[in-house]
Structure 1
Amino acid sequence: MTLIGDAKTPGTPAYASGEVLEIRGGRSLKGQVDVRGAKNLATKAMVASLLGETPSILRDVPDIRDVEVVRSLLEVHGVHVTEGDEPGALVLDPADAKSANFEEIDAHAGSSRIPILFCGPLLHLLGQAFIPDLGGCRIGDRPIDFHLDALRKFGAIVDKQPSGIRLSAPEGLHGAHIELPYPSVGATEQVLLTAVRAKGVTELRNAAIEPEIMDLIGVLQKMGAIISYEPNRVIFIEGVDELRGYDHRSLFDRNEAASWACAALATDGDIFVKGARQYEMLTFLNVYRKVGGDFDITDEGIRFRRGKAPLKAITVETDVHPGFMTDWQQPLIVALTQANGQSVVHETVYENRLGFTRALVQMGADIVVHEDGLEGEYRRVPRRALEQAAVINGPTPLHGADIVVPDLRGGFSYVVAALAAEGTSRVSGVGIIRRGYEKFFEKLTALGADFDVVG
């Protein structure tokens, strides 16, 4: 076996020394997994509870690390968080919300980027907010300039300090006309969470319109917000004087559903993803069918498996919704190593998200990454300066290796590659996978994976 990355290698994540999985590959994954609320909705809806004057109830909250981080941050700010009346339900009571000091925020934030979304609610509630240095997956430059520029337009004063960013709004926040340079999900969430209590009307142009954004709008409307949107990525928010708590069931996690679907492709398995829905996955399902996957849709979920014919090479471009999500391409690339012909994946959202393919090459995959992207008459997504492209030639047998998890989706993809490979692999740093995948080890066991936790 070959060791790929170690704690002394530049660019290797600090969390690489976490849990280690020893995986014996060559076994198809078969069975059922349940998906609960989306990480990208649940954590933001939890932050929204700060805006209400009465307690909120969020249902189908996944048991993942990112939720634990947000819960801790809310509790540090005085929000009382308790278990609800059903499994996966949280009651969030902001009655005693207060300011928190830097040390507390920094200690609980960890590598999460969620603290930036506390800015608007805290400015409304307390007139000030503090944001420490932000972490997150190392998949590319994720500047917070979009967030800070928007907050300034609302009237916030931004003071950058060595330890982080202090914001204040001595005269309150007012509506603004904002046009995002890129339809950023995080920046759109920032505007929504800030505008609902700002004085006047906010017009947001070039907004993100992902299903999780629409679900967050639904949460805010339940609280008393007035929000409308147009088909050309324009959202209007009329500020209101007060909001109440909500009772909301989270949208399912379509990223997790797509990940298990790709695991079925890569391992020639058969996985029923309970809780997955067709509408939010239309784009993914089209690509899944093109590559040779098959699926059955029911009211309870979606069953994913390979079709009868060998997998086929495809070309995919990642994009903002309703395009093919960047979070979907990493596990898909693992499956494409088993497809006949030459596949091309154009990554147009993050500039470093194809770095994970180096480990797949060490495992036997034939993948070449073009750092400056590739031209093509078939291109639908406008080219961006930061984009990359991966060319995958297949099918190639994969073999076991020692590999280190680079980020959340890449980590899941490494586990899938190890399950599809012949021989034994050691996957280090798998703790980060728990940031976004609930009961990950238990689900692997339920699907028949052969592994041990050795570190």
Structure 2
Amino acid sequence: MGNLLTINGGKPLEGRVTVRGAKNLVPKAMVASLLGSKPSVLRNVPEIRDVDIVTGLLSVHGVKVSKDPETGDLSLDPADTKSATSSEIDAHAGDSRIPILFCGPLMHSIGEAFIPDLGGCKIGDRPIDFHLTVLRNFGAVVEKRPGGIHISAPKGLTGAKLELPYPSVGATEQVLLTAVKAEGITELKGAAVEPEIHDLIHILQKMGAIITVQTDRTIRIEGVNELSGFNHQAIPDRNESASWASAALVTQGDIYVEGAMQRDLTAFLNIYRKIGGEFEVDDHGIRFWHGGGSLKPLVLETNVHPGFMTDWQQPLVVALSQAEGVSIVHETVYENRFGFTDALVRMGASIQLHRECLGSVPCRFGQRNFLHSAVISGPTELHGADFDIPDLRGGFSHLIAALAAQGTSRATGIEIINRGYEKFMDKLIGLGADVELSSLGR
């Protein structure tokens, strides 16, 4: 039983939304609490499904998670950490990939970890082999068992010299969460340096970790025997901020995003202005609006931080369908990210997908038959359509296209949006969207 969202398009989104802690940080910060010998407090926590998933996973491992009813702050007490069965982990993990990050902290606290076979968003091949290789380098013993993988460290974990073939955020998090209490020094080359990684490092440093980030994507970690708790306010979600900014542009609206932070949106703001969007930054957030006149086409390549983020690309493709001329988007981070464009084409957008690298830099997907470049011609008039939401960011893109389109659209799979967007329906209605949520019959 799911829900059906009916969207009557053609109304500008206007008003104010608040963006809280980053989906790409908060669950990892919660996992980090496992490393402490004392309780931790995490502030600015959004009400999203990923937080519920990690709360459940921590609970089955004996961590007490309590939420302040007024502030929403989480207290996390790892005093009674214990092993959990695969069925308990499975029941809470669902299709999330977060259990893989429990490995290092659990080996440090109870000597073993179990990861059930994992799912996740269908946007690319994100193998956990990377993670397992990293853990083996620290001295972990990895065994395939029915339903998943058992990981143990009979001789303890020791520091390692590591180099990532690609600056993977997940693998960098795995190294940080494992190396901080491993014996000796860990050096990680080719690390991801996203703002959420820096915020996780700040959390670990508060707990007593010794971590140096060098300018050439090298992170050096000196292992310590014990970590205490942390008290931390999570950085705001730059993806959600950029999503609402794109929604303002596509619907010719005007949205003030409270909590949006210029520092973490620099690359996005440059592109937003080049297309023809306007923004104004103050101490508490950023106001985004359509600058009037025609939107301008451009050539865009996604990249790891500090480049233009892959999660920003999808909502922006909708805006480019309304620009006068031909735009090119070269996706270099996730090979299958353009699947979401099928629904946009049905709504009237002109988007062609190509296997070639249509960008200045050939990327790792170039000779491998992935449709990872898009040519978008505009402006085209968008009209309502029925669609099923495929993944988090693609789903948001479909919704803002439907909000901008003439006529009525019907969307299923809306539950996926709740994984990363807090109080999504309330925010849409607050901005003046003409939407209605109803329950689908069996």
Given the two structures, how large is their TM-score scaled by the length of structure 2?
Answer: 0.97
Contact 1:117/1:193, CA 8 A, preserved across alignment: yes
Following TM superposition, by how much is the alpha carbon of 1:454 offset from its aligned partner in structure 2, in angstroms?
1.6
Structure-2 residue corresponding to 1:258: 242
Structure-2 residue corresponding to 1:13: none
Q: 1:169–1:140: structure 2 CA closer, same or farther, 3 Å change rule?
A: same
1:201 aligns with 2:185: yes
- Residue 328 of structure 1: which of 312, 319, 339 is its match? 312
- Residue 248 of structure 1: which of 196, 216, 232 is its match? 232
- SS of 1:433's equivalent in the other structure is helix
Contact 1:346/1:373, CA 8 A, preserved across alignment: no
Residue identity opposite 2:264 in structure 1? E
Structure-2 residue corresponding to 1:404: 388
Map residues 90-239 of structure 1 onto 2, 5 A cutoff.
Answer: 90-239=74-223
1:62 & 1:375 partners in 2: Cα distance? Answer: 37
Structure-1 residue corresponding to 2:264: 280
- SS of 1:268's equivalent in the other structure is coil
Structure-1 residue corresponding to 2:402: 418
1:67 aligns with 2:51: yes
- Residue 373 of structure 1: which of 356, 359, 364 is its match? 356
Structure-2 residue corresponding to 1:89: 73
Contact 1:27/1:420, CA 8 A, preserved across alignment: yes
2:4 & 2:242 partners in 1: Cα distance? Answer: 24
- SS of 2:337's equivalent in the other structure is coil
Q: 1:309–1:375: structure 2 CA closer, same or farther, 3 Å change rule?
A: same
Contact 2:388/2:412, CA 8 A, preserved across alignment: yes
2:356 & 2:31 partners in 1: Cα distance? Answer: 37
Residue identity opposite 1:374 in structure 2? C
2:91 & 2:121 partners in 1: Cα distance? Answer: 18
2:362 & 2:294 partners in 1: Cα distance? Answer: 28
Structure-2 residue corresponding to 1:302: 286
User: Percentage identity across aligned positions?
Assistant: 65
1:66 & 1:248 partners in 2: Cα distance? Answer: 18
1:60 & 1:86 partners in 2: Cα distance? Answer: 12
Following TM superposition, by how much is the alpha carbon of 1:308 offset from its aligned partner in structure 2, in angstroms?
2.7
Following TM superposition, by how much is the alpha carbon of 1:122 offset from its aligned partner in structure 2, in angstroms?
0.3
1:433 & 1:247 partners in 2: Cα distance? Answer: 29
- SS of 1:272's equivalent in the other structure is strand
**Which stretch of structure 1 is more off in the superposition, 308-317 or 403-412?**
308-317
Residue identity opposite 2:313 in structure 1? Q
| Deviations, residues 131-181 of structure 1 (Å, cap 9, x unaligned) | 001111000100111111010000000012241111010110000000001
Given the two structures, how large is their TM-score scaled by the length of structure 1?
Answer: 0.94
Residue identity opposite 1:76 in structure 2? V
Following TM superposition, by how much is the alpha carbon of 1:83 offset from its aligned partner in structure 2, in angstroms?
1.4
Structure-2 residue corresponding to 1:384: 365
1:18 & 1:139 partners in 2: Cα distance? Answer: 22
- SS of 2:265's equivalent in the other structure is helix
Contact 2:389/2:398, CA 8 A, preserved across alignment: yes
Structure-1 residue corresponding to 2:8: 24
1:439 aligns with 2:423: yes
1:355 aligns with 2:309: no
Contact 2:164/2:191, CA 8 A, preserved across alignment: yes
Residue identity opposite 2:158 in structure 1? H
Residue identity opposite 2:424 in structure 1? F
**Which stretch of structure 1 is more off in the superposition, 55-64 or 381-390?**
381-390
Contact 1:57/1:84, CA 8 A, preserved across alignment: no
2:87 & 2:255 partners in 1: Cα distance? Answer: 44
- SS of 1:189's equivalent in the other structure is helix
| Deviations, residues 57-81 of structure 1 (Å, cap 9, x unaligned) | 0000110000000000000100001
- SS of 1:355's equivalent in the other structure is helix
Q: 1:263–1:375: structure 2 CA closer, same or farther, 3 Å change rule?
A: closer
Contact 2:329/2:358, CA 8 A, preserved across alignment: no
| Deviations, residues 381-411 of structure 1 (Å, cap 9, x unaligned) | 6453456101110000110111000001111
Which runs of structure 1 show a deviation greater than 2 angstroms over 4 or more consecutive aligned residues?
373-376, 380-387
- SS of 1:319's equivalent in the other structure is coil
Following TM superposition, by how much is the alpha carbon of 1:452 offset from its aligned partner in structure 2, in angstroms?
0.5
Residue identity opposite 2:111 in structure 1? G
Residue identity opposite 1:106 in structure 2? D
Contact 2:106/2:113, CA 8 A, preserved across alignment: yes
Residue identity opposite 1:404 in structure 2? D
Contact 2:357/2:363, CA 8 A, preserved across alignment: no
Structure-2 residue corresponding to 1:10: none
Contact 2:32/2:177, CA 8 A, preserved across alignment: yes
Structure 2 gap segments, 5+ residues each: none
Residue identity opposite 1:104 in structure 2? E
Contact 1:319/1:381, CA 8 A, preserved across alignment: no
Contact 1:317/1:381, CA 8 A, preserved across alignment: no
Residue identity opposite 1:295 in structure 2? F
| Deviations, residues 240-291 of structure 1 (Å, cap 9, x unaligned) | 0000000000000000000000001110010000001111100000000111
Structure-1 residue corresponding to 2:32: 48
Contact 2:12/2:253, CA 8 A, preserved across alignment: yes
Contact 2:335/2:365, CA 8 A, preserved across alignment: no
Residue identity opposite 1:32 in structure 2? R
1:373 & 1:97 partners in 2: Cα distance? Answer: 50
- Residue 325 of structure 2: which of 341, 344, 348 is its match? 341
Following TM superposition, by how much is the alpha carbon of 1:306 offset from its aligned partner in structure 2, in angstroms?
1.1
- Residue 292 of structure 1: which of 276, 291, 299 is its match? 276
Q: 1:91–1:381: structure 2 CA closer, same or farther, 3 Å change rule?
A: farther
Following TM superposition, by how much is the alpha carbon of 1:85 offset from its aligned partner in structure 2, in angstroms?
7.7
RMSD: 1.1
| Deviations, residues 354-382 of structure 1 (Å, cap 9, x unaligned) | 01100100011100011x23345xx1464
Q: 1:383–1:154: structure 2 CA closer, same or farther, 3 Å change rule?
A: closer
Residue identity opposite 2:324 in structure 1? N
